[in-house]
Amino acid sequence: MTRGVTLAGRSRLAVAGARAAVRLERRPMRERLWGGAFALALYAALAIALLGLALLLLDAIADGSERFGLGLFTEKGSGFPERAGFQNAILGTLWVIGGVIVTCVPLGVGAAVYLEEFADRRRWWNRLIEINIQNLAAVPSIVYGILGLAFIVRGPLDLGFVPLAGSLTLALLVLPTVVIAAREAIRAVPPSIREGALALGATEWQTIRHQVLPVALPGIVTGVILAISRAIGETAPLLLVGAATFVTFNPASPLSEGYTVLPVQIFNYFTRAQDEYLALAAAGIVVMLVVLVAMNSFAIWLRNRYEQRW
């Protein structure tokens, strides 16, 4: 290779390079059209989903707007529609959902910790537990209602028609959701963190309590949020365990006889003849959504507060 290219030689090289270089063009028309169409289809899918939700909400607001007001939250159910509200149903829902959370979270997280940290997957009973949890998530909710009626309301627990019975029934229903979400969250914790803690001489429990669970917390809380969202709208199983369709008093405690929950109350109002009740029922839908959004927002705030920043 000779040293020193002449000036003429260098410009010949430069021109040749320029000709050979790929010109930066716009993407061909065909590709742009397909790309645009795909994006459009995605937006359309999103729009349809949101539109459906918005229409439902707007319809409910339109029908129920005449009844909006504090009365919805301060009045209890009543035979007189102008005096009826949702206070006892809201309180019933809060008691029932509160019971669900108190039952589900320790049981669900405990089961997930056992399955992920302690269970030897080669043992047949652990595989059986795993299969069953996934099956349970698919069982229709009315079956849980029958189960609750047989074993919780009557049968061994014999609680009677009380909010606690509703809580336990719903807890069984949503427990698989919490377990599965918690398992995924625990599984996502890198094994290097566990090894590091164990190598220091920490016990398994200390490792789980101080290293694994704090990191898995956001995922677990997400599972609980999903569980609450499902439980709050469940009507069929609660009908069987005593969420009577028409109650006019507030439940004083989880063990007081006779209670109702929002979906049941709404359902009841819808089936009545008078038109005033329809407006009330529509307002009830909005109330239920407000309660749901409030609960979920609180849970999301809780999750964000304790989320570890990596």
Partner 1 sequence: MTSDPLERTRAAKRTLERTAGPVSLTAPGREGGPIREPVFELRDVSVAYDGKPAVRGITMDIPRNQVTALIGPSGCGKSTLLRCLNRMNDLISGAEVSGSVLYHGEDLYGPGVDPVQVRKLIGMVFQKPNPFPKSIHDNVAFGPRVLGMPGDLDEIVERALRRAALWDEVKDRLGENAYGLSGGQQQRLCIARALAVEPDVILMDEPCSALDPISTARIEDLMLALKSRYSIVIVTHNMQQAARVSDRTAFLTVELDSQGEGRWGRIVEYDETERIFTNPADPRTEDYVTGKVG
d(CA 296, CA 229): 8
Residue 308 beta carbon to partner 1: minimum distance, rounded to whole angstroms: 5
Residue 42 beta carbon to partner 1: minimum distance, rounded to whole angstroms: 35
Structure tokens at 22: 């790929």
Q: Is 203 in the site for partner 1 (CB under 8 A)?
A: yes
Q: Is 210 in the site for partner 1 (CB under 8 A)?
A: yes
Helix spans in the chain (H): 7-20, 29-64, 71-74, 87-113, 124-136, 141-147, 163-187, 191-199, 204-207, 213-232, 236-240, 262-270, 275-306
d(CA 1, CA 242): 95
Give, to the nearest 10 degrees, the angle between helix 213-232 and helix 87-113.
Answer: 140
Q: Is 195 in the site for partner 1 (CB under 8 A)?
A: yes
Stretch that binds partner 1, among 95-103, 125-133, 199-207, 242-250 (CB under 8 A): 199-207
Give bridge partners of residue 243 from the DSSP assignment: 259
Per-residue binding string, partner 1, 146-185, x by CB under 8 A, is ----------------------------------------
* Residue 72, SS3 per DSSP: helix
Using CB under 8 A, pick the residue from 19, 30, 122, 305 that binds partner 1: 122
Using CB under 8 A, pick the residue from 61, 198, 226, 244 that binds partner 1: 198
Residue 133 beta carbon to partner 1: minimum distance, rounded to whole angstroms: 21
Closest CA to 66 of 286, 301, 310, 288: 286
Residue 39 beta carbon to partner 1: minimum distance, rounded to whole angstroms: 36
Residue 121 beta carbon to partner 1: minimum distance, rounded to whole angstroms: 8
Using CB under 8 A, pick the residue from 215, 226, 278, 292 that binds partner 1: 215
Residue 257 beta carbon to partner 1: minimum distance, rounded to whole angstroms: 48
Closest CA to 96 of 165, 145, 148: 165
Collect all residues with Cβ–Cβ distance below 8 Å to 270 and sequence separation of at least 6. 277, 278, 281
**Where in 91-120 is the site for partner 1 (CB under 8 A)?**
120
Stretch that binds partner 1, among 18-26, 201-209, 224-232, 245-253 (CB under 8 A): 201-209
Stretch that binds partner 1, among 2-10, 140-148, 195-203, 293-301 (CB under 8 A): 195-203
CA dihedral over 199, 202, 206, 210, signed as positive or negative: negative
Q: Is 201 in the site for partner 1 (CB under 8 A)?
A: yes
137 by Cβ neighbours in 10 Å (0-12 / 13-18 / 19+) ranks as: middle
Closest CA to 146 of 47, 240, 286: 240
Residue 197 beta carbon to partner 1: minimum distance, rounded to whole angstroms: 7
Structure tokens at 115: 């399955």
Stretch that binds partner 1, among 2-10, 192-200, 242-250, 296-304 (CB under 8 A): 192-200
Q: Is 196 in the site for partner 1 (CB under 8 A)?
A: yes
d(CA 177, CA 171): 10
Residue 211 beta carbon to partner 1: minimum distance, rounded to whole angstroms: 6
Q: Is 200 in the site for partner 1 (CB under 8 A)?
A: yes
Which of 173, 212 has the CB closer to partner 1?
A: 212
Structure tokens at 64: 């129920």
Query: Which spans of this chain sit near partner 1 (rule: CB under 8 A)?
Result: 120, 122, 190, 192-193, 195-203, 206, 210-211, 215, 308-310
